[in-house]
Amino acid sequence: MVSIKRNIEIPDDNIFLNDLLNREREIEYLTKFINKTEENFVMSINSDWGDGKTTFIKMWIKYLLKEKKNVVYYNAWENDDCKEPLISIINTIEDDINKTSETEVDINNVIEKSKEMMKSISYNLVDKISMGLIDCREIENIIVDNAYKSHKAYKKRKMDLREALKILAENNDKIIVFIDELDRCRPVFAIELLERIKHIFDIDKYIFVLAIDRDQLSYSIKTQYGINMDSDGYLKKFIDMEYLLGKPCENVYLEQLIKTSDIYQVEKAELFISYIFKLVEYYKFSLRDMDKLVEYLKIFTKISVFSDDIKYRPDYIEYVSAVYSYLIILMIKSPKEYKKIMNKKYDKDYIKTINTKIIKNKIASGLQCEINPKNQLHECINLFLDMYLLSQEDLKKSKSDGKLKLKVYSTLGIGNLCADIIINNNGADNLEDLKFISENIIKL
């Protein structure tokens, strides 16, 4: 099985070369703001999952590096197997600061102070375990005394670490730390990381940029503190400013993606692509969904009825365009429903539940299949799925009595020859290319 993923290339010498969403202007404005900010500041870049936050901050990081800024990139999700966020974030700062600075930065003092602070955290953990396992009144006073001593040691070591971090920032201008994938982390790790940023890094010249899906992060907080928790109020304690990442028009982004591929060169796929655009708009595809979709389309249009390998009648291509467009969208947005169709695990009543009526009302009003002026997209889909469900015996019987051919002819308004082709295929051949791609080639 081949895995195909689309990663946007960000060249060092032309950062915005592949910027399909016009992010350059946003990055320029945000950089001006950061350049004028000297105090500690935490900003969130908020957008839905799959809408390009990671690409945005990676473009921004390269832009800041060209301006000789000290930049740190920390992928929270890749580090959430670490029990203590402070360890991983200090290590990342050490690595990235030395990569971006023109001279070697001495961060050893920060490392040593963070180790001392971790000892205090460890002592507290041992005390908690002891109190949970040993129920002996004789050692209560010892445990309480140790708790007080550990707390004092923690405060002292925390102050020492903060002082070391302060010196690091003063010697190296400001330090900009990007935190990515925070909303994908274990809820406990995400919360503890926010707390470390607030209580340890609340120091001038440290600027944090959190790339988050706020709704998802709020849900994580509620799993820890309860459904009635005011998660928005909680997040305001940590985040000073929220920036809503500009959401592009779905069709504009998809148009740009398709233009950079060779899909438009497939002449017979014109109606198929038109349906795709309408369905993407209706199903509110994320940018990540569209990236995935285009990877499917690039292969699918080369090996299916749209290729030049076999000469299909135009009316037949128009018919399968309606069917294919819906199924390929379903493959991405509702894979369970798609799999049921492919495996013939649905019944006729199920066909009525897959939003074909919505398609008729919301989409096909402005885009009718050219086979028949009265024909609607949902009718093509329903007819196809109805036939696909037929057993070979039922199909043979329907052919012999002529009823199926009459149904195809009257519904689609197509010629007898095309009706014969559709019936003879029984939908199975029509789906072979799609099944091959979804099950054997692409795993996204």
User: How much is the average pLDDT of 388-395?
Assistant: 63
Does a structural domain hold residue 167? no
Do 83 and 206 reside in the same domain of the chain?
A: yes
**Mean pLDDT calculated for residue range 19-44:** 92
Based on the fold, state whether residues 255 and 326 are members of the same structural domain: yes
Residue 316 lies in a domain: yes
Quick one: pLDDT at residue 337? Answer: 81
Give yes or no: residues 99 and 113 share one domain: no
pLDDT tens-place string over residues 283-314: 888 888 998 899 888 878 877 777 766 666 67
Both 238 and 260 in one domain: the answer is: no
**Per-residue pLDDT band at 110 (split at 50, 70, 90):** confident
Same structural domain, 297 and 354 = yes
Closest CA to 387 of 353, 433, 420: 420
**Confidence band for 373, pLDDT divided at 50, 70 and 90:** very low
pLDDT band at 407 (very low <50, low <70, confident <90, very high): low
- 229 in the same domain as 90: yes
Does residue 239 contact residue 194 with C-beta atoms inside 8 Å? no
Residues 95 and 78 occupy one common structural domain: yes
SS3 content of the chain, % helix, strand, coil (to 5): 65, 5, 30
Q: What is the CATH number of the domain that holds 19?
A: 3.40.50.300
Asked whether residue 165 is assigned to any structural domain, the reply reads: no
Report the 3 state secondary structure along 383-421. HHHHHHCCCHHHHHHHHHHCHHHHHHHHHHCCCHHHHHH
Higher pLDDT, 53 or 411: 53
Check pLDDT > 50 for residue 125: no
List the domain range (segments joined by +) for residue 126: 108-158
- The H or E element containing residue 100 is helix 85-100
Quick one: 333 and 368 in the same domain? yes
- DSSP one-letter code for 83: S
Share of the chain above pLDDT 70, in %: 64
Arithmetic mean of pLDDT, 214-243 = 90
Provide the pLDDT for residue 255.
Answer: 87
User: What secondary structure does DSSP assign to 138-189, as a single string?
Assistant: GGHHHHHHHHHHHHHHHHHHHHHHHHHHHHHHHHTS-EEEEEESGGGS-HHH
Res. 206: pLDDT tops 90: yes
**pLDDT higher at 296 or 241:** 241
Q: Per the domain annotation, does 164 fall within a domain?
A: no
What is each CA distance from 271 to 212, 316, 354, in whole angstroms?
37, 12, 22
Say how many domains are in the chain. 3
Co-location of 136 and 219 in the same domain: no
Q: Are residues 330 and 242 in the same domain?
A: no
Least confident range from 213-222, 365-374, 383-392: namely 365-374
Which of the four pLDDT bands, split at 50, 70 and 90, describes residue 63?
very high
Contact 363, 251 (CB under 8 A): no
Q: Out of 11-25, 208-222, 341-355, 363-377, pick the least confident.
A: 363-377
Single out the residue in 247, 275, 310 at which a domain terminates. Answer: 247
Residue 351, pLDDT score: 57
Nearest-angstrom CA–CA distance, 275 and 171: 58
